[in-house]
């Protein structure tokens, strides 16, 4: 169970965002939908432990993540939360496999080459494990981003605007990949977007106005 309760964030005295409560059951798949500027990224950053709210709490696996100190929260996020950003942020000087090893070590886990190969195979890019980012297509880089997010079998998988720069066919491919990886890894999935093309791919929706 994931609970976001009584959350708010102050950007200034005149600009406060407040969010309705949100309860998410294990392994559910949700769409976080709202126009640009509605607070989607703010809410995603709060839920993922990147932005401390002005009020409220976020509970993941019975842990109130903002009761943890900064270092413990970082480790908790590495172990239990996988994040896919709008643009791939892959370390250019490391191979695909080395990038995934970094994600494991950040979560205080041992490097697990078998797990890396398993994830890359599930995403159809096992043959690129020793490639560097500049040797990959944009679509392959996106798959590496997904691999890094799921490598530690997270409780929560979050994708922030994953289809905004994609054409219709590739947008559908990415959404299907995210849903498939959510099922394979038994992860709860939240896709944050203003892209109306994907709204019919999800039964459960949290809508910001």
Which domains, from first to last, does the chain contain? 2-207 (3.40.50.300)
Two tokens at 179? Answer: 């849903």
Alpha-carbon distance 127 to 175, whole Å?
Answer: 22
Among 155, 136, 11, 141, which residue's Cα sits nearest to residue 83?
155
Indicate whether 131 pLDDT > 90: yes
Query: What percentage of the chain carries pLDDT values higher than 70?
Result: 100
Two tokens at 114? Answer: 């078998």
Question: Mean pLDDT lowest for which of 16-20, 35-39, 80-84, 203-207?
Answer: 35-39
pLDDT at 199: 85
Indicate whether 81 pLDDT > 90: yes
As a whole number, the mean pLDDT across the chain is 94
For residue 10, give Cα distances in angstroms to 17, 51, 100.
6, 11, 35
177-197 pLDDT, tens digit per residue, is 999 999 999 999 999 988 888
Question: Mean pLDDT lowest for which of 34-38, 39-43, 99-103?
Answer: 34-38
Residue 1 binned pLDDT confidence (cut-offs 50, 70, 90): confident
Alpha-carbon distance 204 to 11, whole Å?
Answer: 29
Query: What percentage of the chain carries pLDDT values higher than 90?
Result: 80
Indicate whether 88 pLDDT > 90: no
Indicate whether 176 pLDDT > 90: yes
3-state secondary structure 44-106: HHHHCCCCCCCEEEEEECCEEHHHCCHHHHHHHHHHHEEEECCCCCCCCCCCHHHHHHHHHHH
Indicate whether 34 pLDDT > 80: yes
Indicate whether 13 pLDDT > 80: no
């Amino acid at each position: 169970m994931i609970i976001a309760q009584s959350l708010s964030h102050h950007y200034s005295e005149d600009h406060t965002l407040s969010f309705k409560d949100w309860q998410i059951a294990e392994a559910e798949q949700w769409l976080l939908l709202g126009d640009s500027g509605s607070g989607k990224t703010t809410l995603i950053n709060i839920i993922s432990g990147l932005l401390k709210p002005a009020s409220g709490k976020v509970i993941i696996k019975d842990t109130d993540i903002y009761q943890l100190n900064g270092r413990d929260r970082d480790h908790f996020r590495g172990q239990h939360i996988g994040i896919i950003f709008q643009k791939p942020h892959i370390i250019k000087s490391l191979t695909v496999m080395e990038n995934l090893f970094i994600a494991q070590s950040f979560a205080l886990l041992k490097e697990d080459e078998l797990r890396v190969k398993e994830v890359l195979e599930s995403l159809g890019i096992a043959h690129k494990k020793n490639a560097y980012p500049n040797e990959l297509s944009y679509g392959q880089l996106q798959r590496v981003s997904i691999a890094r997010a799921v490598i530690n079998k997270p409780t929560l998988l979050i994708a922030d605007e994953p289809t905004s720069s994609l054409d219709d066919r590739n947008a559908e491919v990415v959404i299907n990949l995210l849903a498939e990886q959510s099922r394979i890894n038994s992860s709860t999935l939240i896709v944050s977007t203003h892209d109306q093309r994907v709204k019919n791919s999800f039964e459960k929706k949290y809508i910001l106005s």
